[in-house]
Each structure stands twice: as C-alpha cells, then as structure tokens.
Amino acid sequence: MKKPTAKKAKVLNNPEETKEWINQTLKRIHRKMIELFGVDFTYFSDIKIIKQSDIFKQLTQRIQNDLKESGMVYSDIQWKQICESFSKNRVAGFFENLAFYNPKDDVLYMNEKMMTNHPEKIVPVCTHELSEKLLSIYLPPPLKTPIRTLVEAYIEAKKTNNTRKLYELLNTHTDIIFKSVFKEGFCEAIALQTLRHIDSEMKAASLERELQIGHSKCIDLLFDLDNAKKNTESVEKNQPRVDEKRQRTQPVNEKKLVKEILKISQMIKGLSYYLGYPLAKAVVEKYGIKGAKLALEKCPPLKAQYFANPQAYLTQLEKLTTLIE
C-alpha cells in the first residue's frame, strides 16, 4: 500500500473526505487480514466520526443499558456517582485517541480529535478495532464487562453489607481485567502482523518499539493489581464467620474501595495494549490465532508475572496443549 502522505494532509481538512479515505484504507486492511489469518469476517456496517464528549456519552450509555438489561436496580444518585468517578479517574488523553467498535450496531466510532491532533494514529487504532472483530469469531463477548462486575459488587455491598461477597466480586473483577489485557494484547499482535504486510516494515517496527517501551514503563500496574487481589483474598479469608440467617459482617467503606479499584482499572484500560502485547505476541507466534481461544478459555493468564515473563506462561500453555493432544 502506498503511503498517502500528500493526500492525507488534504483529506484531513475535510470530514467527508477523511471518512472516505479511512473507509477505503480499512477495507484494504480488512481484505489483507482475511487473507493472512484465513478467517472470513464482515467489515463494519458504518464508520462515524464523533466529538469527544459524545464518545464518553456513548460509552457510559452502553454501560447503563447493559446494567438495565441485566435487571439490576440502582438509583440515579448511585449512577451519577459512578459516572463522576469514571470521568475523573480515566487516563488523561485516553479518549482523544479512541476508536471503538460497537457490536450491537456494527459501527466503528472514532473521536474527531484524533483526525486533527494525531492523524498518524488513525490506521493503527482502526486496525486494532478490525482485529477485535476478527477475534470475536473465536471469542464471543464476555457476559459481563469489568465495569459491570465492579458496579455489581458496589450494589451488592450497599444492599447487604456483606463484605465477604464484596471481596469475592472484586477478585472476579481483577481476573476479568487480566483477561481483558490479554485480549487487547492479542488484538494488537494481530493488527501489527497485518500492518507489516500492507505498510513499511519500518512503520511496524516503530509501533512495536512504542509498545515495548510502554510495556516496560507500565508493567508495575499489573503487579499492583496482583497485590490488590492478594490483599482482598487475605481480608476475605480473615472475615469472621457469621450466622447464615444474619448474612452480615462488619460494614466496610465500599465506596472508597470501589473507587480505588476503578481508578486502577481505568489506568490499566488505557494502557492494556502495551501491557498485553508481548505475551500475546509470544502466544500468536507459537500457537497462531487459535491460541487465543485455547489460552483464554482453558488457561487464562491471571498473574502479573506472566505478562512480565511470557516464557513462564508459554510453559504452562504447553503443558495444557500436550494434555489436550
């Protein structure tokens, strides 16, 4: 694919032409992805470029709708608190370079600020979203998002003051975060492998260096999550046994606890591509794209050490594949 440098500068001055350029570029990438990985999957039904404020509204509305569909009951005040915490604690700049694929309407949404402020991010970010679509062939969407799991923990604690149940749900939440980081790393590994076949090797190498540098700078976050899980497990084990009829333990400051976990989770979300890439790349290189399904369904990496040392995880995965064979 030729680098459309001159054309790109012209296109980015006109929203409609920008959208058409993105659409045509992604269609070429889509065809190459099908050819490389042998997975026939559909292209986006549409691409929509929207404002940053609308991006945030879209994401929070999806969370709210998801909760309503699950039959969960919560007050407007509770939801306002959750949204405020989500807004304040998100990673700076995360929404500016954001594009996301919504499976329900099959639309790719993009922040218009990326068009003007970071045009060089357009192709890599959107290729990642195509990888999400491809991977969904092997991995159906999770029943619960990390945010939904956390909100459930918060509401459960408010209703019952059952700290043991709260800690159990928070541990489930951290497991989902580890799986999510791993999946995002897979998407990035697929995207980068595709870009190597349609763009210059130099560009792909530059993107990989960025991922590796980001990984080395941020890996401590996963160890923080590891420690948080160990701490909650320790507290849970030390919770006093209670009469089954009472089903209550001592009250806990669940609002503070949930806000802290939410803060860490949002930081990790904005950096998950970096954190998950080296491990996912190692699995893809050894087991191919089907390795994602095997790994996430049978032996998900739920420890920070696996993301810091992919070989340790590959050893575990190798034992599993030997047993299956």
Q: What is the pLDDT of residue 248?
A: 46
Q: What is the pLDDT of residue 89?
A: 45
- Does position 280 have pLDDT exceeding 90, yes or no? yes
For 5-14, 74-83, 292-301, which range has the lowest pLDDT when averaged over its residues?
Answer: 5-14
pLDDT (average), residues 108-131: 86
pTM of the model: 0.77
For 250, list phi and psi in degrees, rounded to 5.
-65, 140
pLDDT (average), residues 3-25: 65
Higher pLDDT among residues 290 and 151, named by residue: 290
For 288, list phi and psi in degrees, rounded to 5.
75, -175
* Highest-confidence segment of 102-111, 164-173, 183-192, 311-320: 183-192
Q: What is the pLDDT of residue 62?
A: 67
Which residues is 163 bridged to in the sheet? Answer: none
Question: 3-state DSSP call for residue 50?
Answer: strand
pLDDT (average), residues 198-214: 84
Mean pLDDT of the chain: 76
Structure confidence at residue 174 as a pLDDT band (50, 70, 90): confident
Question: 3-state DSSP call for residue 38?
Answer: coil
Q: What is the pLDDT of residue 148?
A: 64
Q: Is residue 90 a contact partner of residue 259, using CB atoms and an 8 Å limit?
A: no
Alpha helix stretches (DSSP H) within the chain: 5-11, 15-37, 52-69, 76-89, 112-117, 122-135, 146-160, 163-198, 201-218, 220-237, 254-287, 290-298, 304-308, 310-324
pLDDT (average), residues 255-263: 65
For 50, list phi and psi in degrees, rounded to 5.
-130, 165
Higher pLDDT among residues 47 and 169, named by residue: 47
For 92-106, 137-151, 218-232, 266-280, which range has the lowest pLDDT when averaged over its residues?
Answer: 137-151
